[in-house]
Chain A
Amino acid sequence: MTLFSLILSVLVTVTNVQNSPNGYGIGDVATDFSLKGVDGKIYSLSNYPNAKGFIIVFTCNHCPYAVMYEDRINDLAKKYSTQGYILLAINPNDPEVQPKDSYELMIERAKEKLFVFPYLIDEGQKVYPVFGATKTPHVYVLDHNRVVRYIGAIDDNAQDASSVTEKYLEKAISSLDMGVKPNPEITKAIGCSIKTKNK
């Protein structure tokens, strides 16, 4: 690496950090985190050195939109774990504001719905602001270098899985597999605001 490219990469990194007061954009490198799952274990991205990528889903118990996606999230986890993609679900809500999103009730929900993915709690609400998540559900796809490659919705029909016409998330992952940019890289959908005491 030449001195110039070294300086350039440092500059780019610094700019990226400065440009992201509201969380990650496409191309940003995600910082690792350590969060507790419903099984009591601590999960980090670095637990999966061989992952082809990560599907980070901010979701929760109480939000009707998140509930509508529970089965689809579980199916995605089953499908992509065999392909080397790790799905981690994170509940970003403060249980003191929304008691239905307590750790105990997360454990219960995970058992009821037979979640096959780690369902993590963002204790102290330190991780969701770093990502810039604003709602549940809110999805981030990272590649194997933890570069953010897709942000947004799972698909284009929350109410009815059978009427989905665009599977944005799956499309984004196939693009990664083919080594091309997802199109679209960002999508928007209605969701529940993240519950916090920080107003």
Chain B
Amino acid sequence: MVLLFQYLSSMSGKTLYTIFLTLLSISLFSQIQVFDKFETFEKQVLIKQNDTAYLFNFWATWCKPCVEELPYLVSLSHQYRKDKTKIIFVSLDSKKDSGKLESFVQKNLIGQTIIHLTDHKYNNWIDRVHHSWSGSIPASLFKKEGISEFHEKEFYSYDDVLMQWVTFLKT
């Protein structure tokens, strides 16, 4: 480690900075969990039963309204940081766009919980997220203690998502 540091300090400041940032981002910020099969995602994440309220947001980097609503959801996650609530961003980008997703996440979703669901046999699993989902994105599933609510629409403002989330938490 000391040797590595000495080696690094012999480099120019800018290169060092770039390497440092890259290492940091790989070690700390590569927060994307990949699921190739919906069943695994369902078992390990979607149907977890505990006292936490979950907001699953289904999105993709290519989906404009999805990208537009992300900041509102990020703000919501900060607002509820200490409560028993969790926002999980489920990207439906295709497998070949993993790199694009990674850099998008590093730029816009640092510190958030990101899942990359690459199972493209959609007809096998869309109904299992929620029977009312036709498949359009953005879409969000609110879920707590056996209750769920599905929103097949985008959130138009922070207040919009906040109001719906607060209402759901009270039900």
Interchain CB contact under 8 A, A193 and B62: no
A138 to B62, CA, bound (A): 18
B119 to chain A, nearest CB (A): 11
Q: Which residue of B lies closest to A186 (CB)?
A: B123
Whether B156 contacts A189 by the Cβ 8 Å rule is no
Within 8 Å of chain A (Cβ to Cβ): is B145? no
A161 surroundings in chain B (CB, below 8 A): none
CA–CA, A189 to B123, complex, Å?
6
Cross-chain contact B122 with A193 (CB below 8 angstroms): no
Task: List residues 147-199 of chain A with CB under 8 A from any CB of chain B.
Answer: 152-153, 156-159, 166, 168, 184, 187-195, 199
| Given known A156-B121, A158-B120, A159-B120, contact A193–B137 (CB-CB < 8 A) | yes
Q: Complex formed: what's the CA distance from A98 to B68 in Å?
A: 13
Give CA–CA (A138, B122) in the complex, Å: 14
Max chain A Cβ within 10 angstroms of own Cβ: one of B64, B127, B133, B136: B136
Measured between beta carbons, the chain A residues less than 8 angstroms from B127 are: 188
A95 within 8 A of partner (CB): no
B contacts with A, residue count (CB < 8 A) = 24
Q: A134-B136, A159-B94, A192-B137 given as contacts; is B156 within 8 A of A199 (CB)?
A: yes
Q: How far is the CA of A64 from the CA of B135 in the complex (A)?
A: 14
Known: A158-B120, A189-B122. A135 touches B94 (CB 8 A): no
Contact A188 B137 (CB under 8 A): no
Contact between B136 and A193, CB atoms less than 8 A apart = yes
Whether B94 pairs with A190 at a CB distance below 8 angstroms is no
- The number of residues on chain A lying at the interface, defined by a beta carbon within 8 Å of a beta carbon of chain B, is 24
Contact B153 A193 (CB under 8 A): yes
- Distance (whole angstroms) from the CB of B126 to the closest CB of chain A: 4
Contact residues of B between 83 and 139, Cβ < 8 Å to A: 92, 94, 96, 120-123, 126-127, 133-138
Q: Which A residues lie within 8 Å of B92 (CB)?
A: 190
Query: How far apart are B157's CB and chain A's nearest CB, in angstroms?
Result: 11
Known contacts A135-B134, A194-B136; A189 and B126 CB within 8 A of each other: yes
Nearest CB of chain B from residue A108's CB, rounded to whole Å: 20
Contact in complex: B134, A188 (CB < 8 Å): yes
Q: B122 contacts which chain A residues (CB < 8 A)? A: 153, 156, 188-190
Task: Give every chain A residue within 8 A of B121 (Cβ-Cβ).
Answer: 156
User: Which residues of B have CB within 8 Å of A189?
Assistant: 122-123, 126, 135
Given contacts A64-B62, A159-B94, A199-B156, contact A191 B120 (CB under 8 A): no
Seed contacts A158-B120, A199-B153; 5 additional CB < 8 Å A-B pairs: A64-B62, A153-B122, A192-B136, A192-B137, A193-B152
16 pairs across A/B with beta carbons < 8 Å? A134-B134, A134-B152, A153-B122, A153-B123, A153-B135, A156-B120, A156-B121, A156-B122, A157-B120, A158-B120, A159-B96, A187-B123, A188-B135, A190-B60, A190-B126, A193-B137
> What is the interface of chain B, defined by CB distance below 8 A to chain A?
60, 62-65, 92, 94, 96, 120-123, 126-127, 133-138, 152-154, 156
